[in-house]
Each structure stands twice: as C-alpha cells, then as structure tokens.
Amino acid sequence: MTERNKCDRRVVVTGMGVISAIGTGLADFKKSLISGKSGVSLIDTFDTSGHSSKIAAQIRNFNPSDYMDFKAAKRMDRFAQFAVGAASMAVKDADLVINSSNENETGVYIGSGIGGLMTLETQHTILLERGAERVTPFLIPMIICNMAAAQVSIFTGAKGPVSTATTACAAGSNSIGDAFEIIKRGAATVMIAGGSEAAITPLGMAGFSNMNAMSSRNDEPEKASRPFDVDRDGFVMGEGSGVLVLEELEYALSREAKIYAELFGYGMSGEAFHMTALEETGANVIRCINNCLAEGEVNKSDIDYINAHGTSTPLNDVVESVAIKNCFGTYAEKLNISSTKSMHGHCLGAAGAIEAVATVLAVNNDFIPPTINLDNPDKNCGGLNFTPKVSMKKKVNFALSNSMGFGGHNVTIGFKKFTG
C-alpha cells in the first residue's frame, strides 16, 4: 500500500436498511441470517421454459407505495425503488433528520452493476411491437445506474456529494468504501451509502446462464446456492438493496445517535487479468485485504470473521479461499468465514451492501451467519472454517467483507466494534 496522508476523522454506522429475499428490514433479515433461511425459489415472474436456470432469490410482496407515492414509483425502475426503500429505512433507523442545518453535509453513494434492466427490456418490447413514439420519455432516467443515488438524494433531501459506483459485483462495497473516504477527508459529515439491483429478468438470466455462471439445480432451488461445496454449479441470482448511514464520529456523538459499528478500512486492488475470472494465485485478493487492514492499522490476528464474496462458482470460491489462507497464514484456521449468498443469492451490484449489513449485524450482535448447503466442503478451498449450515454465537470485534466484480474489481471493507 502506498504511503498517503490520512485524515484522522473516524466513521461509524448509525443506521441500516435492507430489502432482500430473506427479509425486508433489519429484524427479519437478522432472524433469517441466524436461522439459515434460504430465499431461493423457482422464478414466477416470467416464463423460464427456454432458460437453463429457472431459479432466483426473488423479493416477494415488495410494495413501492410503502416508501413513495404511486406517481414517483411509476417513474422509477425496480432497482431505484429498492434503493429508496432501503435508504428510507436506514435514515429512519439512524433517527437522522435532514434539513437546512445539515443537508449540504449529507451525501449519497449508491452503487449498481446493471441499473434499470427491467425497464430497458419492457420498453424495447414496446419499441418493436408498438413503435418508437410509444417508448416512455422516462426511459433514460429510469435505466441509468446513477438514478438510484439520485432518487435517494431527491427523497431524503441530501445535497452533499452524490455519486454511484458501477463496478459490477463490487459496486455496493465500493460505494460504502468511497463514502467512508469522503467523510474521512472532510467533504461530508454524513453519507447514505450502499447498493441496489433488480436484474431477475429474461435477458439478465439468459446472459448469465449462457456464460455458464449460474446454477441449474432447478429441482432443489433452496439448495442451489452452495458456496465452497464440492457440488456447487454456479451462482443464484438475487435482487434487493442494502443501505448504511455513515457518520463522522463526533457528529454522531453530538446528536446521541446509536452506533452499530465503526468502519476502519477500505482496500481495493485490480486483477488486470480477465473479463470475468480471478487470477488463480489470489495474489490480487491478498493485496486488497492487506490494503484494508493497513488503512485501519489492524492486525490480521484481530480479525474474527470474514463475510466472503463466496459466489458458489467453481473458480471464484477456490481463488478467494486460497487468498484468505495465504494472506492469514496459520491464523486462517481460527477465522470464521461464511458466504451469506448461500441464503440471499448473488445480488450483483447490491451484494456488497447487503453483505455489509450482515457483517455489521455480526459485529453488533456477536454471531456468525452460516454458509448453508455446505454438505461436502471442497478440499481445493483449503479446509477453512466456512461456518457450515448453522450460525454460531461468537464475539466479533473485527470483521471483513470481501467483494469481487467482473473486470477485476476487488474490494474489502472492514468493521469493528465501537468502543468509544
């Protein structure tokens, strides 16, 4: 990690919101993480007869009107609706009032890997069947990836830095990490940060399936996402949003906000290797983890838990496991590791944000979420403790969350107990 000036501003998590296939809201989400619930089922929103993968971690019973009026919802793609919903929960959970006293110091950073794919598909069909004049004039602002952050800014009134990461499956983690750095350097006092995605569509499913990236365990949907298991056959698509309210510590204390955890570090690295695959030695993932630890001046022996990227794809799981083992050495055997994707699926640009919520809950509540469906651990994954099948109680003082995006975007973010 290159030397750079470090600002000593500390950043804490004061609110969280989540919309996922295993729970909307912190209480339901936490309960599902502890119980090891699967959110995967057969897709019932479109005809999958021509698809090799017919399963996904769908969000059911989502009602946009719980968070916005009908007119606003009609002008948003599902991914932006998710973001507004999760952000609304997070701001409420933080007991944060945004007004003229703090609106210019409050920003938004919401990532998305794909954006408004559902709207794009629907409107393309209208173009072909009904003509160009029938395409909605809201097409462009509904499909562009930045619109989740923009809509959250509009709905909350946050006028500070507003931006978007589009680093594929690392977008949610990049957004949280970038928001962390924005606060550290003094460009904002509060950031509403996370990721959102809604790509369970015919085109989205076909694209990933035809890459041979997705599970086709259609006869056992709840068992299909099985990270680190020898019988894994690909990831299961998920959808949803995770949003954290990050605050500069002194500001949080001044308003007597509850504090879930402190964000201590943000590491990044590039693969410079392949459009979709990780370089097999895991050296770049190791650099990423080390960069995160170095920023927070945290020792490897301090880490209690790692929320792994753990996609349930053959190569990714092996490379990440090898990287963790080589990075932590003999201490790796003392770590608890798990992939919550085994429960809520791979939520693409929202994955890192939803997993950040899970990681903060683990730190705040001293438990390790399980890797469900881990019946036969793959020996190539290094014999690590992936917390198979059931959650466990454990003191979690320091935790990491890993994300890796297509194109070679590696991200690690680190959380620790707030101790004053």
Kindly list the domain boundaries of the chain, sorted by start residue. 11-420
129 burial (CB, 10 Å; 0-12 / 13-18 / 19+) is exposed
Using the predicted structure, report yes or no on whether residue 8 has a pLDDT greater than 90. no
The three-class DSSP label of residue 364 is helix
Q: How confident is the model at residue 392 (pLDDT cuts 50, 70, 90)?
A: very high
Residue 111's DSSP bridge partners are 195
Using the predicted structure, report yes or no on whether residue 6 has a pLDDT greater than 80. no
Among residues 346, 347, 381, 409, the one annotated as catalytic is 346
Using the predicted structure, report yes or no on whether residue 411 has a pLDDT greater than 50. yes
Q: What is the pLDDT of residues 374-391, one digit of tens each?
A: 999 999 998 899 999 999
Among residues 51, 292, 309, 344, the one annotated as catalytic is 309
Please report the pLDDT score of residue 201 as a whole number: 98
Using the predicted structure, report yes or no on whether residue 1 has a pLDDT greater than 70. no
Q: How confident is the model at residue 2 (pLDDT cuts 50, 70, 90)?
A: very low
The single-letter code of the amino acid at 346 is H
* Residue 16 φ then ψ, to 5°: -145, 145
Placement of tokens 């899970």 in the chain: 358
Among residues 51, 145, 169, 288, the one annotated as catalytic is 169
Active site residue 288: no
Active site residue 409: no
Beta strands in 232-388 (DSSP E): 240-248, 261-270, 305-307, 336-338, 367-368
Contact 313, 213 (CB under 8 A): yes
Beta strands in 271-328 (DSSP E): 305-307
Report how far residue 97's alpha carbon sits from residue 106's, in angstroms, rounded to the nearest whole number.
10
Q: What is the pLDDT of residues 72-108, one digit of tens each?
A: 999 999 999 999 999 999 999 999 999 999 999 999 9
Please report the pLDDT score of residue 163 as a whole number: 98
Active site residue 169: yes
Q: Which of 59, 94, 41 is nearest to 247 (CA)?
A: 94
Tell me what the mean pLDDT of segment 203-210 comes to.
Answer: 97
The dihedral region occupied by 402, where left means phi > 0, alpha psi between -120 and 50, and beta the remainder, is: beta
Q: Give the CATH class of 11-420.
A: alpha beta
For the chain, state the CA radius of gyration. Answer: 20
Q: What is the pLDDT of residues 119-136, one digit of tens each?
A: 999 999 999 999 999 999
Please give the mean pLDDT across all residues of the chain: 97
The H-assigned helical ranges of 131-280 are 139-143, 147-156, 171-184, 202-209, 249-254
In the DSSP assignment, the letter for residue 235 is: B
Joined tokens for residue 22: 């295993």
Quickly list DSSP for 185-215.
TTS-SEEEEEEEE---SHHHHHHHHTTT-B-
Q: How confident is the model at residue 3 (pLDDT cuts 50, 70, 90)?
A: very low
Q: What is the pLDDT of residues 318-359, one digit of tens each?
A: 999 999 999 999 999 999 999 999 999 999 999 999 999 999
Q: What is the pLDDT of residues 230-269, one digit of tens each?
A: 999 999 999 999 999 999 999 999 999 999 999 999 999 9
Longest dimension (CA), the chain: 64
Express as a percent the part of the chain with pLDDT over 90.
Answer: 97
Using the predicted structure, report yes or no on whether residue 4 has a pLDDT greater than 50. no
Quickly list DSSP for 16-74.
EEEEETTEESHHHHHHHHHHT----EE--SS--TT-S--EEB---S--GGGTS-HHHHH
